[in-house]
């Protein structure tokens, strides 16, 4: 990472003292996430804008027909591309990919791609010759912490919102029908992983943390940029609403007691439940509006004739 | 493809172990007294790792120095002959960088960094053979080499992997088992139940997590004891040579 | 001196049609004066201000613009964060991701080579820009050079909160005596404030928030420990509410101030 923000000791004092009293700078509770705002385009599939507090990002899902990998002839290809440019925050440098960015993109990959959130076998058209290549591009527009949570949330919304063109298969020939010709088909999404990031703060010294019995480490959910720059460690829990932990990642940082960890994973579960519900409600509403609009258009076209 | 039986109904695993048995754990410290400030060699089953620590030394890059404590630098190199399929691995592979950062952040907390301001401690790890539990072996090798280098640490960090086969947790997986089930790797601080490192990459049910962590922690305490034995053996050896 | 303001928004490239007569004209910030034909061109977008003195012999033209990046100018009052030490000076940062300024260790009241201030990285100081030559590093100082006294400069203690606002809002709070924001705030709480022209504001409500010492002190004064804690939470919440109110004040019109104040202090 380039130069991080320089936090004055005044600010860090306020943040830490606030945590001890259960107060955060933006008025949230310690275990409260920033409620995301989802936006999509009315007449396009697979483009999603997520506003996660002051963090903002876009996800674009696109599809093309390619030849599959030789060792996996029955599977489509799915990649996630995470782009964090200096646009998001001056702390990210142009052209150089920092370790943190690699960790972020690896985590999103693990959470979504490795966990088979997208059914790759359903993307196969002609074995060994033609499969769908689904690509999700994440662009971070504004950075205020919580990128992993926001990006994986965005990718999952975009995958469920996206429709790939319908195809008809004749032998080894594939005809891709345009969106006007035939109703496009949704991707088969097997489950919805939700990432929840916990940040840990140690109010006493590190010796107390390792040797002591107090366990007074403070854990908060969904840290902002300022809180992230102060944290002593973090844990990303990816979980879906079927009570399956998809991925756990605590890359070092403050040691945390197992019982605390179990507690946190239960908190993560309730958050995952509410967020996946939110996605479901949003997509249903969006779908029905789109349907209404389409029918209105058809009616108008009929009336004009 | 016939499915390999990873865990038989009789409770035996592919290599004949029970569910809570470790593989052979063999370690040596001070293996390279000439070329490094601290060194170790760890064999965890067929996974073999050499670790060399040099430092605290002057940072090669002035901008890296930190006046509040030592900068810890990890460098994992995976030999191309370490797996059955010979494969050239680049140093800048995302997975390797992730390993480096993970180890760096783990040991940053357990090394008393403030004792060594404006210095770098660099830890070079060489993977000679891989057979599962790579991150765990790397963690153990680093702990031993850092102890050998005489760098102040709060406690041991011992790593181990554990997987979930249906509902039965299995300790310390080899490559075959790793490819067939979800597993996690943990790093435990000393004899406590505090996790400084936790990595799980595949799905497991939330309700089985607790069991899995329980055997993993028990396993890592066992590893800690084995490492402690070796350190003490070596220390006694050196002490006996001292002129009284 | 009579002031005759002729405000209006100008944009770079605009023609400023002002008949200034024979009087001498000084170009202020945002104005370029062509040395050949004395033509006046605006170089930033903003509010045009023209000030004339009584005798109509001198004019001052400048543009008030709303920027977020601060460029040091001599005699500006700023709040800087100490980011490091360089030889005999502290490195001071005025904004995130901007060039460091230098604060000499002797630029404090009563400081000598032997008697130095003891500042730590991360602490904030109120200072005056003493030197802003573009060719060398800009410098700030923490004392009143004319008297040698502290003159209100120096360390801003850690019990106050620091936050960022737009530059013109900071100037407005600092120089506009008719600005209603602070007076309104004073009706809700007791506070101390320091405003830097680099857009940083230091704010402390009540006694502020002191970092609590771990264990030792809290067990000693267990009796008043609870009252201490609730007072601290109150100060913390009040300060944050006041900071939120001031941040919001940047983007509202004068008649919304009361409402905004109520909203910010609602939860207290």
Give CA–CA dist A140/A156, Å, rounded: 16
The domain in which residue C149 lies consists of: 77-156
How far is B203 from chain A, CA to nearest CA, in Å?
Answer: 4
Q: Is residue B7 part of a domain?
A: no
Q: Nearest residue on chain A to C159, judged by CA atoms?
A: A10
pTM of the model: 0.87
- Percent of chain A scoring above 90 in pLDDT: 50
pLDDT surpassing 50 at residue A1: no
Q: Is residue B230 part of a domain?
A: yes
Q: Is residue C7 part of a domain?
A: yes
- Whether residue C182 sits in one domain with residue C134: no
Domain-terminating residue out of C102, C127, C156: C156
Q: What is the mean pLDDT of chain A?
A: 88
Asked if B104 reaches chain A (Cβ–Cβ under 8 Å), the answer is yes
Q: What is the mean pLDDT of chain C?
A: 83
Q: Is residue B13 part of a domain?
A: no
- Residue A285: helix, strand or coil by DSSP? helix
| B82 Ramachandran zone, left/alpha/beta (phi>0; psi -120 to 50) | alpha
Q: Is residue B124 part of a domain?
A: yes
Q: Is residue C69 part of a domain?
A: no
More confident residue, A219 or C215: A219
| Residues sharing a CB contact under 8 Å with residue A100, sequence separation 6 or more, in sequence order | A1
Q: Nearest residue on chain A to B197, judged by CA atoms?
A: A252
Question: Using CB atoms, which residue from B154, B200, B207 is nearest to A206?
Answer: B154
pLDDT (tens digit per residue) in A183-214: 899 999 999 999 999 999 887 766 666 666 66
Q: With beta carbons under 8 A apart, name residues in chain C contacting A27.
A: 240, 267
Predicted complex ipTM: 0.87
CATH number of C60's domain: 2.40.50.100
Report the candidate in B125, B161, B131, B127 with the shortest Cα–Cα distance to residue B143: B125
Q: Is residue C71 part of a domain?
A: no
The b-or-e profile of A17-41 (16+ CB within 10 A means b, else e) is bbbbeebbbeebeebebbebebebe
- Whether residue C104 sits in one domain with residue C50: no
Asked if B194 lies within 8 A of A210 by C-beta distance, the reply is yes
Report the candidate in B25, B4, B2 with the shortest Cα–Cα distance to residue B172: B25
- Whether residue C180 sits in one domain with residue C256: yes
Give CA–CA dist A259/A261, Å, rounded: 5
Q: With beta carbons under 8 A apart, name residues in chain B contacting A244.
A: 203-206
Q: Is residue B214 part of a domain?
A: yes
CB atoms closer than 10 angstroms to residue B117: 14
Asked if B91 reaches chain A (Cβ–Cβ under 8 Å), the answer is no
- Whether residue C257 sits in one domain with residue C176: yes
Q: How confident is the model at residue C161 (pLDDT cuts 50, 70, 90)?
A: very high
CB atoms closer than 10 angstroms to residue A187: 24
For the ranges A121-125, A128-132, A294-298, C9-13, which has the lowest average pLDDT? A294-298
Q: Nearest residue on chain A to B98, judged by CA atoms?
A: A103
Question: Using CB atoms, which residue from A7, A10, A204 is nearest to C160?
Answer: A10
Q: Nearest residue on chain A to B99, judged by CA atoms?
A: A251
pLDDT surpassing 60 at residue C213: no
| Residue B30 confidence (pLDDT) | 92
pLDDT surpassing 90 at residue A275: yes
- Whether residue C254 sits in one domain with residue C216: yes
pLDDT surpassing 60 at residue A6: yes
Q: Please give the domain boundaries of chain A with CATH numbers for all domains.
A: 9-301 (3.30.230.70)
pLDDT surpassing 60 at residue C3: no
Q: Is residue C239 part of a domain?
A: yes
pLDDT (tens digit per residue) in B80-91: 999 888 877 777
CB pairs under 8 A between A and C: 65
Asked if B200 lies within 8 A of A247 by C-beta distance, the reply is yes
Q: With beta carbons under 8 A apart, name residues in chain B contacting A114.
A: 201-202
Asked if B206 lies within 8 A of A239 by C-beta distance, the reply is yes
- Whether residue C94 sits in one domain with residue C55: no
Asked if B203 lies within 8 A of A244 by C-beta distance, the reply is yes
Asked if B201 lies within 8 A of A110 by C-beta distance, the reply is yes
- Whether residue C255 sits in one domain with residue C177: yes
Report the candidate in C82, C34, C28, C22 with the shortest Cα–Cα distance to residue C50: C28
| Residue B137 confidence (pLDDT) | 96
pLDDT (tens digit per residue) in C106-133: 888 888 888 888 888 889 999 999 988 8
Report the candidate in B195, B175, B188, B217 with the shortest Cα–Cα distance to residue B44: B175
pLDDT (tens digit per residue) in A143-173: 998 999 999 999 999 999 999 999 998 888 8
CATH number of C81's domain: 2.40.50.140
Asked if C97 lies within 8 A of A91 by C-beta distance, the reply is yes
Mean pLDDT within A32-37: 93
- Looking from the CA of B141 toward its CB, the CA atoms found within 13 Å total 30
Q: Is residue C38 part of a domain?
A: yes
How far is C83 from chain A, CA to nearest CA, in Å?
Answer: 7
| Residue C20 confidence (pLDDT) | 63
pLDDT surpassing 50 at residue B2: no
For the ranges A10-19, A126-135, B225-234, C208-217, which has the lowest average pLDDT? C208-217
- Whether residue C141 sits in one domain with residue C111: yes
pLDDT surpassing 60 at residue C218: no
CATH number of B231's domain: 3.30.230.70
Domain-terminating residue out of C156, C176, C205: C156
Asked if A245 lies within 8 A of B203 by C-beta distance, the reply is yes
CB atoms closer than 10 angstroms to residue A237: 29
pLDDT surpassing 70 at residue B198: yes
The domain in which residue B149 lies consists of: 25-243
pLDDT (tens digit per residue) in C183-192: 889 988 889 9
Domain tally, chain C = 3
Q: How confident is the model at residue B37 (pLDDT cuts 50, 70, 90)?
A: very high
Asked if C156 reaches chain A (Cβ–Cβ under 8 Å), the answer is yes
CB pairs under 8 A between A and B: 125
Q: With beta carbons under 8 A apart, name residues in chain A contacting B202.
A: 114-115, 246-247
How far is A249 from chain B, CA to nearest CA, in Å?
Answer: 5
Question: Using CB atoms, which residue from B101, B108, B203 is nearest to A103?
Answer: B101
| Residue B217 confidence (pLDDT) | 94
How far is C124 from chain A, CA to nearest CA, in Å?
Answer: 7
Q: Is residue B65 part of a domain?
A: yes
Q: With beta carbons under 8 A apart, name residues in chain A contacting C123.
A: 8-10
Mean pLDDT within C202-225: 61
Report the candidate in B216, B207, B144 with the shortest Cα–Cα distance to residue B187: B216
Domain-terminating residue out of C123, C156, C189: C156
- Percent of chain B scoring above 70 in pLDDT: 98
Give CA–CA dist C108/C104, Å, rounded: 8
- Whether residue C108 sits in one domain with residue C191: no
- Whether residue C82 sits in one domain with residue C56: no
Asked if B206 lies within 8 A of A245 by C-beta distance, the reply is yes
- Whether residue C218 sits in one domain with residue C128: no
Asked if C106 reaches chain A (Cβ–Cβ under 8 Å), the answer is no
Q: With beta carbons under 8 A apart, name residues in chain C contacting A5.
A: 96-97
Domain tally, chain B = 1
Give CA–CA dist A188/C29, Å, rounded: 60
Q: How confident is the model at residue C219 (pLDDT cuts 50, 70, 90)?
A: very low
| Residue A212 confidence (pLDDT) | 61
| Residue C214 confidence (pLDDT) | 44
CB atoms closer than 10 angstroms to residue C89: 19
Give CA–CA dist B128/B33, Å, rounded: 19
Q: Is residue C19 part of a domain?
A: yes
Question: Using CB atoms, which residue from B187, B190, B206 is nearest to A269?
Answer: B206
| Residue C58 confidence (pLDDT) | 80
Mean pLDDT within B171-175: 92
C93, β-bridge pairs: C81
Q: Is residue B16 part of a domain?
A: no
Q: What are phi and psi of C192, to 5 degrees?
A: -115, 145
| Residue C19 confidence (pLDDT) | 64
| Residue A4 confidence (pLDDT) | 65
pLDDT surpassing 90 at residue B150: yes
pLDDT (tens digit per residue) in C11-40: 888 887 766 666 778 888 888 888 887 788
- Looking from the CA of C168 toward its CB, the CA atoms found within 13 Å total 11
Mean pLDDT within B47-72: 87
User: Is the previous residue joined to A132 through a cis bond, with omega within 30 degrees of 0?
Assistant: no
Mean pLDDT within A54-62: 94
- Whether residue C47 sits in one domain with residue C83: no
């Amino acid at each position: 990472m380039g130069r991080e923000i320089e936090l004055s000791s005044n600010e860090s004092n306020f943040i830490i003292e606030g945590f001890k009293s259960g107060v955060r700078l933006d008025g949230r509770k310690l275990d409260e996430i920033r409620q995301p705002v989802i936006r999509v385009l009315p007449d396009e599939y697979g483009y999603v804008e997520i506003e996660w507090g002051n963090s903002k990002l876009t996800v674009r899902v696109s599809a093309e027909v390619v030849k599959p990998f030789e060792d996996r002839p029955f599977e489509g290809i799915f990649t996630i591309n995470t782009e964090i440019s200096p646009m998001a925050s001056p702390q990210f440098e142009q052209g150089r990919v920092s370790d943190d960015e690699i960790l972020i993109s690896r985590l999103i990959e693990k959470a979504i791609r490795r966990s088979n959130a997208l059914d790759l076998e359903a993307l196969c058209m002609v074995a060994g010759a033609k499969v769908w290549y689904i690509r999700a591009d994440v662009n971070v527009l504004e950075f205020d912490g919580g990128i992993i949570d926001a990006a994986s949330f965005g990718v999952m919304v975009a995958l469920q919102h996206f429709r790939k063109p319908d195809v008809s298969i004749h032998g080894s020939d594939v005809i891709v029908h345009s969106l006007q010709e035939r109703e496009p088909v949704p991707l088969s999404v097997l489950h919805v992983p939700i990432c929840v990031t916990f940040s840990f703060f140690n109010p006493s010294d590190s010796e107390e943390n390792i040797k002591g019995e107090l366990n007074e480490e403070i854990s908060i959910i969904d840290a902002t940029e300022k809180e992230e720059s102060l944290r002593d460690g973090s844990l990303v829990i990816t979980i879906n609403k079927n009570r399956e932990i998809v991925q756990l990642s605590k890359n070092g940082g403050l040691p945390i007691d197992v019982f605390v960890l179990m507690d946190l994973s239960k908190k993560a579960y309730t958050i995952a439940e509410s967020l996946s519900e939110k996605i479901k409600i949003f997509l249903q509403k969006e779908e029905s509006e789109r349907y209404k609009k389409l029918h209105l258009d058809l009616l108008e076209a009929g009336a004009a004739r | 493809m016939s499915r390999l039986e990873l865990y038989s109904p009789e409770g035996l695993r592919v290599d004949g172990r029970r569910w809570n048995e470790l593989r052979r754990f063999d370690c040596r410290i001070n293996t390279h007294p000439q070329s490094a400030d601290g060194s170790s060699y760890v064999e965890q089953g067929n996974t073999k790792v050499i670790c060399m620590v040099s430092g605290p030394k002057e940072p090669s890059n002035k901008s890296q120095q930190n006046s509040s404590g030592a900068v810890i630098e990890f460098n994992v190199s995976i030999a191309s002959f370490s797996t059955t399929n010979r494969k050239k691995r680049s140093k800048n592979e995302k997975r390797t960088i992730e390993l480096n950062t993970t180890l760096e952040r783990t040991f940053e907390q357990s090394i008393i960094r403030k004792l060594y301001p404006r210095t770098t401690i660099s830890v070079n790890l060489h993977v000679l053979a891989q057979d599962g539990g790579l991150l765990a072996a790397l963690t153990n090798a680093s702990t031993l080499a850092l102890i050998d280098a005489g760098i102040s640490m709060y406690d041991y960090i011992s790593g181990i992997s554990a997987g979930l086969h249906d509902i039965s947790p299995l300790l310390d997986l080899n490559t075959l088992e790793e490819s067939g089930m979800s597993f996690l790797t943990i790093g435990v601080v000393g004899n406590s139940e505090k996790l400084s490192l936790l990595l799980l990459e595949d799905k497991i049910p939330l309700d089985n997590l607790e069991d899995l962590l329980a055997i993993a922690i028990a396993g890592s305490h066992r590893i800690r004891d084995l490492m402690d034995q070796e350190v003490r053996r070596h220390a006694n050896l050196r002490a006996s040579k001292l002129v009284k | 001196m009579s002031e005759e303001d002729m405000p209006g928004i100008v944009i770079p490239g605009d023609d400023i049609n002002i008949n200034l007569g024979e009087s001498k004209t000084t170009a202020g910030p945002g104005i370029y004066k062509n040395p050949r034909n004395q033509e006046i061109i605006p170089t930033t977008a903003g509010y045009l201000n023209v000030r004339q003195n009584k005798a109509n012999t001198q004019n001052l033209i400048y543009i008030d613009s709303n920027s977020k990046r601060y460029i040091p100018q001599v005699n500006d009052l700023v709040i800087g964060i100490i980011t490091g030490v360089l030889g005999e000076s502290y490195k001071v940062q005025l904004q995130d991701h901007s060039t460091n300024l230098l604060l000499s260790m002797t630029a404090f009241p009563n400081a000598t080579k032997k008697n130095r201030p003891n500042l730590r990285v991360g602490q904030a100081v109120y200072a005056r820009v003493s030197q802003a030559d573009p060719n060398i590093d800009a410098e700030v100082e923490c004392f009143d050079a004319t008297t040698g006294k502290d003159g209100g400069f120096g360390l801003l203690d850690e019990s106050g909160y620091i936050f960022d606002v737009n530059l013109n809002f900071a100037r407005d709070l600092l120089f506009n005596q008719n600005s209603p924001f602070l007076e309104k705030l004073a009706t809700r709480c007791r506070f101390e404030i320091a405003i830097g022209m680099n857009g940083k504001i230091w704010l402390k409500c009540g006694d502020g928030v002191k970092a609590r010492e771990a264990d030792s002190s809290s067990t000693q004064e267990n009796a008043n420990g609870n009252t201490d804690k609730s007072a601290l939470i109150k100060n913390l919440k009040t300060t944050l509410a006041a900071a939120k109110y001031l941040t919001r004040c940047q983007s509202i019109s004068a008649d919304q101030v009361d409402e905004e104040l109520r909203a910010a202090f609602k939860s207290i």
